[in-house]
């Protein structure tokens, strides 16, 4: 069994600034903590792609350097860095990222922005520059913004886009028709893939059940197929880590047994270009 977690967060509030951290999350979470949490899921060869954890924008490069400093030891194979894409002209920022060989993608959170943020002229110009640089774009949006990501995918078809957390659907009830329809519209864009991640966080607690979350995995498989689904832990925001990994492992083995390894490892390795 091998697991390439496509969505790992790490942070240290004593080193970098994070305005959003509070409660149990307001402490250091490093790769050793992740390995401890993952070990409870059972033996596996594990690696990960780190995704920026929304530290202060001025600390973004320091965040990349902090993660990279121990990446080889802890199995971090790639880094998705923050990029201020709303600024439009991102050449200097991309030049800094290119000096850091572990960077494989970029992210600019869209989830709390107004309509049209990701399709404004400056953002689209930056997205084209990201594509030219050979990077993937992680799209973290809420369920009402899925069609905006589809428009971005149409405007920049050469840009590989990975949807984080299935677009954060409402998991307190069965998958609703609008989310399913919007997810299918997004999946019609061949340059878009989808992370099976973040659903435990949307359940707002650790007492979610497999029966509650499995229908959302089924909907993602129906929309994207097994070639464009990636396992993501979203740790430590989502948890318990071991329970989520075990759920996705069991679901993949039962739903698409011949493609389970692709969902758990191969697709992330291919899309992010990591070994």
| Helix 241-255 / helix 31-39 crossing angle, nearest 10 deg | 60
Task: Examine the pLDDT at 84 and tell me if it is beyond 80.
Answer: yes
Number of domains in the chain: 1
Average pLDDT of the segment spanning 142-154 = 98
What is the model's pTM?
Answer: 0.96
Q: How confident is the model at residue 44 (pLDDT cuts 50, 70, 90)?
A: confident
Per-residue model confidence (pLDDT) at position 176: 95
Domain housing 17: 2-272
Which CATH number fits the domain that encloses residue 170?
A: 3.20.20.140
Q: How confident is the model at residue 275 (pLDDT cuts 50, 70, 90)?
A: confident
Residues 6+ apart with CB under 8 A from 272: 6, 49, 77, 78, 80, 104, 105, 136
CA–CA separation, 186 and 169 (whole Å): 14
Task: Examine the pLDDT at 29 and tell me if it is beyond 90.
Answer: yes
More reliable by pLDDT, 204 or 84: 84
Average pLDDT of the segment spanning 86-106 = 96
CA–CA separation, 109 and 17 (whole Å): 17
Q: How confident is the model at residue 72 (pLDDT cuts 50, 70, 90)?
A: confident
Percent of the chain's residues with pLDDT above 70: 99
Task: Examine the pLDDT at 206 and tell me if it is beyond 90.
Answer: no
Range with lowest mean pLDDT among 70-74, 88-92, 102-106, 149-153: 70-74
């Amino acid at each position: 069994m091998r697991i390439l977690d496509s969505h790992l967060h790490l942070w240290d509030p004593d080193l970098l600034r994070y305005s959003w951290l509070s409660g149990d999350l307001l402490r250091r979470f490093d790769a050793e903590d992740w390995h401890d949490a993952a070990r409870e899921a059972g033996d596996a060869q594990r690696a990960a792609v780190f995704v920026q954890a929304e530290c202060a924008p001025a600390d973004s490069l320091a965040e990349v350097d902090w993660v990279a400093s121990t990446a080889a030891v802890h199995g971090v194979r790639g880094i998705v860095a923050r990029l201020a894409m709303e600024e439009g002209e991102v050449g200097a920022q991309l030049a800094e990222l290119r000096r850091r060989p572990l960077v494989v993608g970029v992210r600019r959170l869209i989830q709390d922005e107004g309509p049209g943020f990701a399709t404004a002229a400056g953002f689209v110009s930056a997205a084209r520059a990201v594509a030219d640089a050979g990077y993937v774009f992680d799209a973290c949006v809420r369920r009402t913004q899925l069609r905006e990501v589809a428009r971005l995918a149409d405007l920049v078809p050469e840009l590989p886009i990975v949807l984080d957390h299935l677009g954060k659907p409402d998991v307190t009830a069965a998958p609703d028709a609008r989310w399913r329809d919007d997810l299918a519209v997004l999946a019609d864009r061949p340059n878009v893939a989808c992370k099976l991640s973040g659903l435990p966080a949307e359940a707002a607690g650790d007492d979610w059940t497999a029966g509650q979350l499995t229908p959302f995995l089924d909907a993602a498989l129906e929309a994207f197929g097994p070639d464009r689904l990636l396992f993501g832990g979203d740790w430590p925001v989502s948890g318990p880590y071991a329970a989520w990994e075990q759920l996705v492992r069991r679901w993949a083995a039962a739903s698409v047994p011949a493609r389970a390894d692709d969902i758990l490892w191969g697709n992330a390795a291919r899309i992010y270009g990591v070994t």
